[in-house]
Structure 1
């Protein structure tokens, strides 16, 4: 294992992390099992018995609530339009297939975390895979991806406020309001403190979606429904990336597991997430598309009449805010841990109510939401840019990187020993190739969409007061 094993003091304010020493023997399934001998693994937060701020406090269902809030919130809103582009059959197959694969890749992330207890984020995993270069590349990618996700919540928030108020104020004002509220709610230092808000978030999006489904059902069939669709590659793959984005919560899994009381309970959390989100995506996609057909729009709440649309967006506001807060908190925690953890040491500011610790935390949160606001306002083709970012990062964080994790966890000498192991090795190698394919195809489709948007003049100017109401 590379790095993070030194026991030298990084400074006067640092204390050593608790050191879990143990080596790993190989199990029949190819993963590693802990064995008490001589390696230097440790938990990122160390011994919390006397800590003022305790991070590892979440039970599995709270982690599930966080993951549902982060994953389902905005992802579910794009599903009906994806069905509209792909057709009913392809839409259902992709939702089920990509959901099942996301379950498998999420399980591997959990196994990697248990094998390396010190891993808190993708940067730590990158260091294990490829040394300092891997750490910087994956760490930067994770921060960039999450900041853009936060930007998408700022943009969705201003659209919601504009829709509710019928553009009564400059849309930039609503972007500021959304960013400020998200910043304030991100300030709690532990994920356990945000988990209760996540329950509210999940109830919020469920209520908004059910109102939408009931309304389109009452309105009756307004569009054409097809079993399949005839699309250009670019438009078809853009719809596929919408479904991929709906499962793109894996980027935060390491951080969620790090704050669970029992990391070994993660499979229960993962299965809860995947059963719930796959079921919801199928129901929403089938019901809304069955009634709205090829006229379906994204976000899904826009498929109703004006009054109901206002009500649905009002009910959905908590999930727009809280899901953004979860992403913002994870991003802030990555930076915070990077600052106050050095070579196997953690600063007292991580677990204590010090002025330096709180000032640093608040400054990081402020910077994240300020960047999210600027990105959402300055870039005229933000939605398409988010497609580019998702193609580059979600393709790997949700799918490809887990294949690399599996290959790392399984020694070469054991990959081809039995028929079962051979099948697994081929499968996970294909997953890595799939991540690369999604990245290339998604980039192409998103760039084509940006070019088409410029040709049609469909992009607003930066910091424009033009209403974004649906």
Structure 2
């Protein structure tokens, strides 16, 4: 039977272990262990600290719709630009089925993350969750994976920024310089320390990507560069098929930051509203943009999709897309930097009160962290110059677990010892075990696919740290 706090919050009783009927105290960690009986162990994270200690009131300031807008801005960005080319690789019908099916599954796995967060209010990131699952080893493993994933995503935004600048200027300068400009712009925009401030930028980001894809769809609809040549189904090699799957997964790869978003909600129990807002917009937009763009641009559709129109419309679309190219990357950069920031003050120095101070130590530490993570992201963007290959590598290595596989583990941990207590529970046990297996399969096969693609593209790509035009706008 679930605690009342989960049921009244819309979380049901399918993901929570037996416990008393008191509601969880979200504003305090007092007697957490007595309120909700956990799985086999709580791990080293049993200190029960709230993510920001005494500064929780300073950081936990978002309304659910603010969180929803941030989640939309983080998720609906670069991933949507690769979906039309995904349909070109595997065919229209298989592509639609995968976009819809993986979207529904991502909604459920995001819901499970919310259940885990409510059971353990001190969890701020995947590292905290890993500590609960497997102690210090789990903490460092998932923490390192989270940072790597976020930095790779940040790198993909810098790469897209350089493509955008090449399109707008018709390759007016060295691509490395354009990437460095993107690094500086993103760094500056990541300097605000709270997500509430970032949430207002997220609204601009969402409007930006909507306008950019509308321009793109209108452009290909008028110009019809594909002349109606599409494949309803298409025979693909193994690596082509799995590269397409990993591109779709990347489009739903916001889960890695969900713990951080929930931690800065005024009312964490309202998280499902933000999740359903995100996924409703996600799935609808992905299907619309992928189908319309592919049907008009045809089998030769570009990735990113903004490159499928005429040179003039490309410039217009990329110009409109500048906010989302920057802001969606900034959100990932903020989450990465915040993870390190919290670890330093909360765990290493045991001084969480410093996180909210406006002194040289606190602000200086934040600036140094932000600079470091964006500099590493810039290096990655220059090292992997092919957009689709970078997305596939990120998705296979990280998104397969953060979006799917790990959520199955979270549910199985929360419900340890209760797998056969009812038919519903047995069904959910099978579902979450399957989700774990799906994550493992995508990771293994996706790494093979992305590695093969990177190898095959090595000779045709411009190469790492190249001044050459990565948008082909000057050709």
TM > 0.5 between the two? yes
CA gap 1:163/1:108 in 2 versus in 1, 3 angstroms: same
Q: Distance in 1 between matches of 2:436 and 2:121?
A: 24
CA gap 1:108/1:116 in 2 versus in 1, 3 angstroms: same
Match of 1:83 among 62, 84, 87: 87
Look up the match of 1:159. 163
Look up the match of 2:362. 357
Q: Distance in 2 between matches of 1:129 and 1:303?
A: 45
CA gap 1:25/1:89 in 2 versus in 1, 3 angstroms: farther
Match of 2:462 among 457, 460, 463: 460
Q: Distance in 1 between matches of 2:237 and 2:206?
A: 35
Q: Secondary structure at the match of 1:446?
A: helix
Q: Distance in 1 between matches of 2:394 and 2:304?
A: 19
Match of 1:372 among 361, 368, 377: 377
Please, what is the CA RMSD of the aligned residues?
1.9
Match of 1:176 among 177, 180, 183: 180
Q: Distance in 1 between matches of 2:47 and 2:447?
A: 40
Look up the match of 1:395. 400
Q: Which moved more, 1:289-298 or 1:114-123?
A: 289-298
Q: Distance in 2 between matches of 1:346 and 1:67?
A: 29
Q: Secondary structure at the match of 1:341?
A: helix
Look up the match of 1:13. none
Look up the match of 1:12. none
Look up the match of 1:43. 50
The 5-angstrom pairing of residues 34-433 of structure 1 reads 41-48=48-55, 54-220=58-224, 222-342=227-347, 345-380=350-385, 383-412=388-417, 414-433=418-437
CA gap 1:328/1:61 in 2 versus in 1, 3 angstroms: same
Q: Which moved more, 1:445-454 or 1:400-409?
A: 445-454
Superposed CA deviations along residues 183-236 of structure 1, whole A, max 9, x for unmatched, are: 000000000011000000000000000011111111235241222111111111
Q: Distance in 1 between matches of 2:406 and 2:371?
A: 30
Look up the match of 1:9. none
Contact kept in structure 1, 2:55 and 2:352, CA below 8 Å: no
Superposed CA deviations along residues 256-283 of structure 1, whole A, max 9, x for unmatched, are: 1101101111000000000001000000
How far did 1:348 drift?
2.5
Contact kept in structure 2, 1:64 and 1:269, CA below 8 Å: yes
Q: Secondary structure at the match of 1:47?
A: helix
Q: Distance in 2 between matches of 1:285 and 1:24?
A: 49
Q: Distance in 2 between matches of 1:324 and 1:260?
A: 21
CA gap 1:81/1:385 in 2 versus in 1, 3 angstroms: closer
Where does the alignment leave 5 or more consecutive residues of structure 1 unmatched? 1-16, 33-38
Q: Distance in 1 between matches of 2:90 and 2:151?
A: 29
Give yes or no for the alignment of 1:20 onto 2:30: yes
Q: Distance in 2 between matches of 1:233 and 1:22?
A: 48
Q: Secondary structure at the match of 2:229?
A: coil
Q: Which moved more, 1:414-423 or 1:346-355?
A: 346-355
Contact kept in structure 2, 1:21 and 1:40, CA below 8 Å: no
Q: Distance in 2 between matches of 1:69 and 1:108?
A: 21
How far did 1:421 drift?
0.9
Q: Distance in 2 between matches of 1:324 and 1:127?
A: 27
Where does the alignment leave 5 or more consecutive residues of structure 2 unmatched? 1-26, 40-45
Q: Which moved more, 1:326-335 or 1:214-223?
A: 214-223
Q: Distance in 2 between matches of 1:381 and 1:84?
A: 17
Runs of 4+ in 1 over 6 A off after TM superposition: none
Q: Distance in 2 between matches of 1:388 and 1:213?
A: 27
Contact kept in structure 2, 1:60 and 1:268, CA below 8 Å: yes
Contact kept in structure 1, 2:29 and 2:121, CA below 8 Å: no
Contact kept in structure 1, 2:52 and 2:342, CA below 8 Å: no
Q: Which moved more, 1:233-242 or 1:200-209?
A: 233-242
Contact kept in structure 1, 2:84 and 2:289, CA below 8 Å: yes
Contact kept in structure 1, 2:153 and 2:329, CA below 8 Å: yes
CA gap 1:434/1:344 in 2 versus in 1, 3 angstroms: farther
Q: Distance in 2 between matches of 1:466 and 1:223?
A: 32
Q: Distance in 2 between matches of 1:152 and 1:467?
A: 16
Q: Distance in 2 between matches of 1:72 and 1:400?
A: 21
Q: Distance in 2 between matches of 1:40 and 1:129?
A: 14
Q: Distance in 2 between matches of 1:419 and 1:102?
A: 23
Q: Secondary structure at the match of 2:461?
A: coil
Q: Distance in 2 between matches of 1:293 and 1:431?
A: 33
Superposed CA deviations along residues 101-160 of structure 1, whole A, max 9, x for unmatched, are: 000000000110110011000000000000000000000000011111111111000000
Q: Distance in 2 between matches of 1:19 and 1:420?
A: 31
TM-score (norm: length of structure 2): 0.89
How far did 1:351 drift?
1.4
